[in-house]
Amino acid sequence: EAGVAQSPRYKIIEKRQSVAFWCNPISGHATLYWYQQILGQGPKLLIQFQNNGVVDDSQLPKDRFSAERLKGVDSTLKIQPAKLEDSAVYLCASSTLGRADTEAFFGQGTRLTVV
Amino acid sequence: KNEVEQSPQNLTAQEGEFITINCSYSVGISALHWLQQHPGGGIVSLFMLSSGKKKHGRLIATINIQEKHSSLHITASHPRDSAVYICAVPINAGGTSYGKLTFGQGTILTVHP
């Protein structure tokens, strides 16, 4: 079974530029998560989708971050404009259900460096 | 106070040693996750448990729901076990059935040959 695919693996941009990340979850997984992991910290949830609807985006900085999951499969996360503090690993995860006791599967992450 | 606390933050061991990483949490949960993250890599789920003990190879995870505490043990540690080990618990938001994982800060394990 293929895992969660993310691209690109690495991205370096200048501050105030825009960037987009892509995630393809495991086939059949209805729930998709985007996490931000700053160096030395645990991941922090940015947004959770159930199919193509947003379940939780309370920690998404909506003035600069946006995410969509068209057709309930692939998802993109965009940052516009980027700030230095956005340097982090962006992880995508998926699970069959959005239940608290459901195992989530993670992608390799996209390491973003803003200079 | 963080909702999920791990200890120790850093752990160095010699190959073959028995290793224990602890996780304490402050809210009631339905399940706890142990995850492994290698440098530059993504996160791999090791265990999801809601009671008792689970074993997979040299890895053992235990949980005490009443005490809100879980431990991850590695027997006969090996340099390839070097990674960050993260404990995560689902914190239900708004009383819905959908959960999100709240992560501990991670334990950096280094096993020397």
B1-18: pLDDT as tens digits: 568 999 999 999 999 999
- Pick from A41, A91, A101: CB nearest B42: A91
Residue B81 DSSP SS3 = helix
| pLDDT over threshold 80, residue A58 | yes
Q: Which of B102, B76, B112, B111 is nearest to B6 (CA)?
A: B102
The CA distance from B106 to B43, in Å, is 12
Fill in the amino acid letter for B51. Answer: S
Chain A positions touching B5 (Cβ under 8 A) are none
Q: Is the C-alpha dihedral spanning A93, B73, B25, B98 positive or negative?
A: positive
Q: Can you say whether the dihedral through the CA atoms of B80, B35, B41, B13 is positive or negative?
A: negative
Task: Provide the 10 A C-beta neighbour count for residue A64.
Answer: 14
Instruction: Report yes or no: A22 at the B interface, CB cutoff 8 Å.
Output: no
pLDDT in tens, B20-75: 999 999 877 778 899 999 887 688 889 988 899 999 999 999 999 899 999 999 99
CA of A108: which chain B residue's CA is closest?
B42
Q: What is the model's pLDDT at position B40?
A: 73
- Predicted confidence at residue A83, as pLDDT, reads 97
CB pairs under 8 A between A and B: 74
CB-based contacts of A53, cutoff 8 Å, min separation 6 = none
The whole-number pLDDT of residue A100 equals: 64
A19 touches chain B (CB under 8 A): no
- Asked if the Cβ–Cβ distance from A104 to B98 is below 8 Å, we say no
A26-30's contacts with Cβ under 8 Å and 24+ in sequence apart are: A26/A1, A26/A2, A26/A94, A26/A105, A27/A1, A27/A2, A28/A96, A29/A94, A29/A95, A29/A96, A29/A105, A30/A72, A30/A95, A30/A96, A30/A97, A30/A98
Q: In sequence order, what are the residues at sequence separation of 6 or more whose Cβ sits closer than 8 angstroms to the Cβ of residue A63?
A: none
What does the DSSP assignment read for B42-91?
-EEEEEEESSEEEEETTEEEEEETTTTEEEEEESS--GGG-EEEEEEEEE
State which amino acid sits at residue A73. V
